[in-house]
Amino acid sequence: MIDRRNLLRQFAASAGAAFGTSLFPGIAQAARSSSGGPKRVIFFLQNQGFDPKTCIPAGMKNSGSLAKAKLPEPIQALEPFKERLHIINGLHGLHTSPSHSAFFGALGGYRGDDGTPPLAPTIDYELSQILPETLLPHLCIGMDSIENMRAKPTIATLSASGAGEPIFMHSNPNHLYQMLYGGISQGDIRKQHEARSGLFDRIEQMASAKGGALPTGEQQRYGQFVQGFHDINGLRQRLGGVSDHLRQFAPKVDERYTKPKFETDWHDVLLDLGISALKSGITSVLTIGSGRGEIFGAWSGLGITEQGHNLGHMEQPDNPIWIKIRQYNCRMLVKLMEQLESVPEGSGTMMDNTLIVYTSNNADKQHTAGATWPVMLLGNCNGVFKTGCFTQLDGTRPINALYATLLKTVGVDRDRYNMSGKMAAKFDSGTGPLKKLLA
């Protein structure tokens, strides 16, 4: 097994030598520390809703232990991991107006709509700014039909760094592989990486030179465009500086990348890239959007012929189509856990310091008011979270309270997350974190 603690120390040293010792102050800290809250967080959002009947054991109406309960068929793959699982029901997202999707509001805890810019940062981005610093603090990947992923290899619907500042998710694994590992690749991948890098360099230079001539009102928006290319180029240079380290984690490129038979081939390799980014220390926060935060999506690789919007008009409980989709999700969750469990970290493993948050960007179903918003947590982060249990809340606290809870575990105290006092008076019966979730 790979000793992540020593790797991180080497990584910090090589990064410091290449870019200055102050660039990644949190990497060495992450290697030394072995207690406290999560050191990495994974958000996995499935579109079209998450019906509570597909995750709550039959007959279980009150909070209690999962030890003697049998998990429902859609999440049966998690049965061997029940001691690490916490099923939560009774949060709400009424204020997000989810309908077909809450879009940025699902992780932001505010009103969201198709085509509406984010109103504030989302919780995944907030955590990426607090957790130990990494080369790429936040990575988003999105899974959809092969046609949609090819036509729109990047899309922004779920994550944001601030008001009007969406974060794009990556859906073409070939492009993402080039971004993360192009500098250490050979052959065509290396040539494509160098060509794209040269193009981005020239665009940044040209854009920087031209922006000053724009009207004042357009300069800020144009500046964000230029900053985007600056960030891409900076990331490429930083990754190149730790190439020897990254070679140990780069996935093998096969025909699933270049000649996918089904969209699930790309889903699978996107997950592999996300896992490699976590294990290598490239990122500490991974957001996965199955359906990319919209109402589309396809899973023909599972033998499912229905696609997109029609899936949302089907009842999920006891539905063989939704059982297959949810089981596929859970196999991905299991793979994430097993891969992180295989890497030593501190006195335990990476999984001991990782929290996985599984839910939907659309509460319980496609056409919903958001009155109930089920969530599953995986991992206790060295005893910080309760696990092996089901918690039934009373429906009066919003998803924002969960996000305030996550912030509490990384040392940030907030009475509310992205919710004003006026909004809270209408939509939140309490303040601060959800104590029932914490050990």
CB contact set of 161 (below 8 Å; sequence gap of 6+) = 121, 125, 167
Q: Give, in words, the CATH class of 33-177+265-274+284-437.
A: alpha beta
> What pLDDT score was predicted for residue 30?
41
> What pLDDT score was predicted for residue 353?
96
Answer whether 176's CB lies under 8 Å from 139's CB.
no
> What pLDDT score was predicted for residue 24?
41
Domain borders along the chain are 33-177+265-274+284-437
| DSSP-derived 3-state class of residue 87 | strand
Answer whether 191's CB lies under 8 Å from 244's CB.
no
> What pLDDT score was predicted for residue 232?
57
> What pLDDT score was predicted for residue 96?
97
> What pLDDT score was predicted for residue 209?
56
> What pLDDT score was predicted for residue 340?
97
> What pLDDT score was predicted for residue 238?
67
> What pLDDT score was predicted for residue 212?
56
Sign of CA dihedral 230, 231, 232, 233: positive
> What pLDDT score was predicted for residue 215?
59
> What pLDDT score was predicted for residue 133?
86
Q: pLDDT (tens digit, 9 = 90+) per residue, 202-242?
A: 544 555 555 555 555 555 554 554 455 445 555 656 676 66
Residue spans of the chain under pLDDT 50: 1-34, 193-195, 199-201, 203-204, 222, 225-226, 229-230
Query: What's the distance, CA 315 to chain centroid?
Result: 26
Strands (E), 36-75: 40-46, 64-65
> What pLDDT score was predicted for residue 230?
47
Answer whether 24's CB lies under 8 Å from 16's CB.
yes
**Can you give the pTM of this predicted structure?**
0.85
